[in-house]
Chain A
Amino acid sequence: AQTVTQSQPEMSVQEAETVTLSCTYDTSESDYYLFWYKQPPSRQMILVIRQEAYKQQNATENRFSVNFQKAAKSFSLKISDSQLGDAAMYFCAYRSQGETSGSRLTFGEGTQLTVNP
């Protein structure tokens, strides 16, 4: 079974600064997907960024980028030019690429990000 570990329960950053959230995972599979989701106080999970394991290039979405190290099974999220609206719980998630994986995600325990003005 796959596991996802987020070792930082809480992180804080000054507005306009850069912060990196860590995530490691354990799997015996070679093909899979990794995600970062944001959960604001409204509790709705919002997809921030995704990475396909077969792609060597790190994914980027505007101010959000990842550092995907497949051999090390590490998947960190970098938020540049942090904004007050970035404050939320961030979850790292794993999904197999198997035929029946569908929408089954394995989540980490989350990192609560605070953005200070």
Chain B
Amino acid sequence: DAGVTQSPTHLIKTRGQQVTLRCSPKSGHDTVSWYQQALGQGPQFIFQYYEEEERQRGNFPDRFSGHQFPNYSSELNVNALLLGDSALYLCASSLLAIGNTIYFGEGSWLTVV
């Protein structure tokens, strides 16, 4: 049973560019969330998707957007990249039912130069 998978593992982008990160949830999971983890800090919640809709959003600007597909996989898009967007982006999946365990992927390292 594959866990949460993310791609790409590492990428380097130039300031002002756009980036798309991808996530496939654990088999059977219907909810995907994205987190940003800056170096030396705890992860910060970006947003959560369920039934192809954004259900909750953290304190992130509109430059951060996402999408969930019918197969529950998800994308995180960041436009107009800033140097401060350099971070590890973690995808997490779960079943929406309360109490279910949340599983994380290994993350995508984004460096903005």
Contacts and interface: CB of A to CB of B under 8 A. Distances in A.
Given A105-B102, A110-B42, A100 B56 contact: yes
B73 interface: no
B33 A47 contact: no
A102 B42 contact: no
B41 A109 contact: yes
A105 B34 CA distance: 10
A103 B107 CA distance: 16
Interface residues of A, number: 26
Given A44-B105, A100-B55, A100-B56, A106 B45 contact: yes
Contacts of A101: 56, 98
A91 B42 contact: yes
A99 B93 CA distance: 16
A109 B98 CA distance: 25
Interface of B: 31-33, 35, 41-45, 48, 50, 55-56, 58, 88, 90, 92-94, 96, 98-99, 101-107
